Homo-oligomer: A and B are copies of this chain.
Amino acid sequence: MTTLSEENYLKAIYHLGKQGAVAVSTNAIAEKIESKASSVTDMVKKLADKNLAHYIKYQGVSLTNDGRLAAALVVRKHRLWEVFLVENLNFSWDEVHDVAEQLEHIKSLKLVNELDAFLGFPTHDPHGDPIPDKDGNYAPTKSINILELEVGSEGVLALVKDSSDVFLKYLNKNNLALGDVIKVLEFEPFDDSVTIQTKTKEIIISKEVAKNLYLSQ
């Protein structure tokens, strides 16, 4: 059985592992989880003892199959609860994360699978992130970052990579929501800002914003 703290480490390693790197550094984990590298070293040894992680001193950490499945289950629960909160309890997409951080640790396979069925087996959470199935798998996402599109191309906003409430509130303020049709009008070479056509108006978004918006076509 995994503790709450172990689950948070597993999830951090899981997410960092997706970002390319085979082995994840203790410092990277510490930053993600807002703790210290020394604490990470301690915990990573425990995860290795439980056969949830591979760990070689000074070389970094990766998940075992068991660890990856455990992490995927936590992510699955997090995202299913986010869907529930938005679809059924009148939460907006910028309010769900902190509650989901708590709900993702509730232990009951029946609960997560019944919740999945109740929600109609959703494939994506309110931020466009994919929801792993029971086995931890999900279809590879095919959405493309705005910065990689051609001028004139159009798509549906399918994923916001940053789902911090400050970013989501920025999107709310600018009337941008998942599912909206967006057209790329112009790239500005000076600062890499992008002019886009939204549902309601033409706006200029910074490179930092554009980096976090993915469209599907």
Q: Which residues of A contact B (CB under 8 A)?
A: 85, 88-91, 95, 98-99, 102-103, 106-108, 110-111, 114-115, 118
Contacts and interface: CB of A to CB of B under 8 A. Distances in A.
Contacts of A98: 108
Contacts of A85: 111
Contacts of A89: 110-111, 114-115, 118
A99 B91 contact: no
A88 to B, nearest CB: 6
A85 B108 CA distance: 12
Nearest to A115: B89
A106 B103 contact: yes
A81 to B, nearest CB: 10
A28 to B, nearest CB: 29
| Central interface residue in A99, A111, A114, A115, by most chain B CB within 10 Å | A111
A89 B116 CA distance: 9
Nearest to A103: B106
A110 B88 contact: no
B111 A106 contact: no
Contacts of A91: 110, 114
A114 B110 CA distance: 23
Nearest to A90: B114
Given A95-B110, A99-B108, A102-B106, 7 more contacts: A89-B111, A89-B114, A89-B115, A90-B114, A91-B114, A99-B106, A102-B107
